[in-house]
Amino acid sequence: MTSQKLNTFLEKNLHELKDNGLYNEIDVIEGPNGAEIKVNGKQLINMSSNNYLGFANDQRLKAKANEATETYGVGAGAVRTINGTQTIHEELEAKIAEFKHTEAAVAFQSGFNCNMGAISAVMNKNDAILSDELNHASIIDGCRLSGAKVIRVKHQDIDDLRAKAKEAVESGLYEKIMYITDGVFSMDGDVAKLPELIEVAEEFDLITYVDDAHGSGVMGKGAGTVKHFGLQDKIDFQMGTLSKAVGVVGGYVAGSQNLIDWLKVRARPFLFSTSLTPGAAAACIEAIDIMSNSTDEHDRLWDNGRYLKEGLKNLGFNIGNSDTPITPCIIGEEKLTQTFSKRLTEEGVYCKSIVFPTVPRGTGRVRNMPSAAHTKDQLDKVLKIYEKVGKELNVIS
């Protein structure tokens, strides 16, 4: 017999989520994730993917993945520290380090695993972490796991960071203090003020950690937000994913050789979880090679981002203050946001609603993620549908 207390808890809270418009229905895609997708038998223009450069279904990456699978097998067969490190994994890490302009890099099974493993491998209960209040959930959970004192910093507020860094240092309570931030904030598309942050970090000897999950492949001609500002020698941790612009799966931390050596013996997801599949590692190498040798996909991404932003803004939508191709349409109330998203789908555009707790209450939105794979014809269709649904629901006049 299963637990009655568990069943009561689940039924009560699921009912509450649905009543408040906070329950997220999971859609199943029937085929590859590209500029268009099929959901429930219907072809839709896809505006919700993190597949920025269109690599998730790229023939070049698929060919490399198939080739590596034939050579190395479908799985690595063990954790990295036993005998799950194959030459393809070392090749990937060397390629990442070269791409990020660091001494070394280590690959993890996901970006979430990176933050869970890397933060807690360096920070502990004797330390403090200054964390931007809008940081990703994986950063929040990684900080909690470390046991360090977490000090929330107002979003992109350099004065608040300086004041809290000064207070933490002068308290004498902490052995080490870290400042951690997203490079690109995924809900609003704004970019971290890294040059100003570095000034504060140097003033107070803060460890610096940039989660560039949405910046790698997008900023710095593809090399990321840190490279965009030319700060490769100023940031201790460059973390990123291999599942967004790279189009595959996994994550990494790039930094000094000493840092990477430490993570390989102390980061628990690296120590206790099986390696990336050889096929995934090979596909990631191919994606990085493409980004290193050409900016074609990067340039198309930014051109499409500008085109969509201008169109939505001209229609009267609130698109916030994004500095990147990420383009939110901020609707506000949660149920209206979900209705807006549903109507978009019915008209032919797939753009999922994002509501509390992912974003603060009352700031529900549909977040548009244009990619290098979209055509202008597709984006024009998107804009026409947005206009129709926006007027129908009185979101625009």
DSSP conformational letter for 52: T
The residues, any chain, with a CB within 8 Å of residue 384's CB and separated by 6 or more, are none
95 is catalytic: no
Across-strand partners of 253? 106, 239
CA distances from 285 to 76, 101, 347 (A): 17, 15, 38
Of 199, 200, 194, the closest CA to residue 323 belongs to: 194
Residue among 186, 216, 322, 341 flagged as catalytic: 186
Angle between helices 296-315 and 376-392 (to 10 degrees): 30
Pairing mode of beta strands 128-132, 177-182:
parallel
From the list 64, 95, 244, 374, the catalytic residue is 244
- Within a 13 Å sphere around the CA of 219, how many CA atoms are in the beta-carbon half? 28
Instruction: Determine whether 155 is an active site residue.
Output: no
Q: Is 186 known to be catalytic? A: yes
Active-site choice (149, 214, 228, 309): 214
Task: Round to whole Å and give the CA distance between 249 and 269.
Answer: 15
How far is Cα 101 from Cα 232, in angstroms, rounded to an integer?
6
Task: Using only the alpha carbons of the chain, give its radius of gyration.
Answer: 22
Residue 187 has which token pair?
A: 């809900």
Q: Please name the helix (run of DSSP H) or strand (run of DSSP E) that holds residue 307, with its range, or none.
A: helix 296-315
Query: Which residues are marked as active site?
Result: 186, 214, 244
